[in-house]
Amino acid sequence: MSSSVKSNEFRPWGVNMVESNGDYREEAFLEQVVGGPLYSNQSSMPRLPVPSIADTLKRFLPTALPLARTKEEEAKLKEACQNFPDQAQELQQRLVERRDGEFRDSSWLQLWWNQTGYLQVRDPVVVNVSYFFSFVDDPTIRTSSSMPNVQRAATMLFATAEFRKQVVTGKLPPEVIGKKTKTPICATAYKYMFNACRVPRLEQDSYRIYDPSLYTHCIVARKGHFFSMEMVHPETGNPLPVAQLEEQLGECISIADSLSSSRKKLGLLTSQNRDDWALGREELVLAGGIAMRDALERLESGAILLNLDDESPVSRQECGELFWTGGLKSGENRWFDKSIQIMITNNGKAGLIAEHSMMDGMPVINFANYITTVTYSQVKRKSLHQPETYKSIPYPVVQDIFAETLASLNPDMVTKLEARSWASFSKLITDHVLHVQSFQGYGSSFMKKAGFPPDAFAQTAMQLATYRLFGEQVGTYEATQVRTFLHGRTEVTRGVSTESEAFVKRMGFRPLCDESDPAACSEKIDLLRKATNAHAKYTSLAAKAQGVDRHLMGLSLMVKEGERKPDLYSDEVYARSKHWRSSTSNLSHPRFNLWGYGEVVPDGVGLAYAVLPNSCVFNITALKITGYSDKLAELLEEAFLEMRGLIESQSSLETISKL
């Protein structure tokens, strides 16, 4: 354990570690222990509502009807919806009782979602669960300097320590949304940001969070070797001076680069199927005893994991491939269970990968926004001019975490574990492909000027592109946060609607570069406007927890053993509507070059995007065998150009008509 922070700003938990099974209620006591502005709105936050069955059906049907392939399928879907109120009435009552009873001080959904959506999923977290960010460069670091990676890493550790102190002392200002009326949003996820790690278990994983007043170290990875180093002063909890951080980081690199390439490495074990990793971890602990348990605790309890990758990517594509999975070279330089990992390359590129189980993207974006705002020149000035605030410590020690225990293990056992994890990881990586489409034609400025909401416009373009890719509309998921409710996470904004169906069918499978027919142009623009308005309206409803997917999931989970489920749950079109062949999410940030995640179904695509003022960037992932990623990149460009052509054609035609 690190030296405990003596500052009274850090309030000890009373326990070294809390192990979560996915129930936010179990760790809620820590919010009272920590206190501060961050958690000041928790007790007054509204609870996640249970929509009425009538409202859910009214919103569901227009998102599913376009996916019916025959009149017979359409008729069956409508009949299932007509029967649903009677068949689900008792289920609705049970769900309301769950909301008002056992989960009256929480969210009726959170435990189900955290467990069935994450901790019980046995797929590897890399590709399937985790998401990555790729950041813009620090303008104050010259790539010609001797060690730009150390400078960038020290900057980000310094900024991380500052942000972490605000979080763990509760002094971080609470998040709010809304331009005029400020609505607070739930802060519970921040407890799982630092000193946190997912732990593999058979059937269902757990999540460990460690008292940040006791565990002040961070973890550094280099060439698959893991080191512990100090990042904050034990008296204040403030970051160490940047020079002392650089010194320790340089030592980590020197040690790692001097180690034999034949030394065993454990990082790839975290990339396995969760049951396989659970068994492997148990095997390691049984063989390594207390020393192995202590080493794993040291790693898992670290404030954050910083990966110093021995690579020098340049393009968005190269950075995306590296930061998403580590790739075949640097995958061993990850511990995929850690809540947050920051990646730094030899040439000073930076990114982040986050484990998704207990914390959604927006708190991580808040953190990433902070650490990308801070520059190397700023932390150097702070360190030099505020020595009383940023004190150094005497003789900091860098610890090679697994050195002792690896030397005592049976090498054949470790070799077998390594080989098994490498086989599964290399297949996972080679089976997947990532494609970056950086569209420079226009962005949100043009969309707004034309009177369209940028996200809805982009979503409609994606509907057109995926319609042409798959030959039909497909289930489309857009994540929408519902953190305005206590312990809220996300709802689905469904991208398919009768309005988007009308638009894509009118546009057709083949792009038209120039629409010169005034009547056709006007019709298409009208359909585009209706489609974007419908999407924006659904997004607004989803943000108020008035979507359909979480409610329908909750009702289905209320069915008791031996009871018959409502007919809707066995309907083909219903199943098709939530088979997310297009999984989309928007994160538009000026200091993010790229971000992304994997597809959620084998015959689908992961489509992370950013709508910037003058450009749109798409990160498309898919199984390589499908060939979807490259094709979709081209189809997206076609769709955006065609839609711009429509708008410009209408403008030109209107000008001509006035002459």
Q: Which residues are catalytic?
A: 356
Helix then strand count (H, E) for the chain reads 22, 19
Answer whether 462's CB lies under 8 Å from 636's CB.
yes
How many Å apart are CA 400 and CA 16, to the nearest integer?
22
Dihedral (Cα; 368, 373, 375, 380), 10-degree rounding: -90
Closest CA to 263 of 222, 323, 293: 222
For tokens 């569901």, what's the residue? 60
CB atoms under 10 Å from CB of 402, counted, come to 25
How many Å apart are CA 429 and CA 582, to the nearest integer?
20
For tokens 């102190």, what's the residue? 165
Length of the chain: 659
CB atoms under 10 Å from CB of 540, counted, come to 12
- Tell how strand 196-199 and strand 206-210 pair up: antiparallel
Alpha helix ranges (H) inside 1-66: 24-27, 29-34, 53-64
44, with CB counted inside 10 A (0-12, 13-18, 19+), is exposed
The strands making up 225-230's β-sheet, listed across from edge to edge, are 399-400, 225-230, 217-222, 305-309, 340-345, 350-354, 131-135, 592-596
How many Å apart are CA 643 and CA 189, to the nearest integer?
39
Answer whether 208's CB lies under 8 Å from 15's CB.
no
Structure-token pair, residue 306: 């910083």
Task: Convert 465-497 to b/e letters by CB count within 10 Å (16 or more is b).
Answer: bbbbbbeebbbbbbbbbbbbbbbbbbbbbbbbb
Answer whether 375's CB lies under 8 Å from 155's CB.
yes
Answer whether 334's CB lies under 8 Å from 223's CB.
no
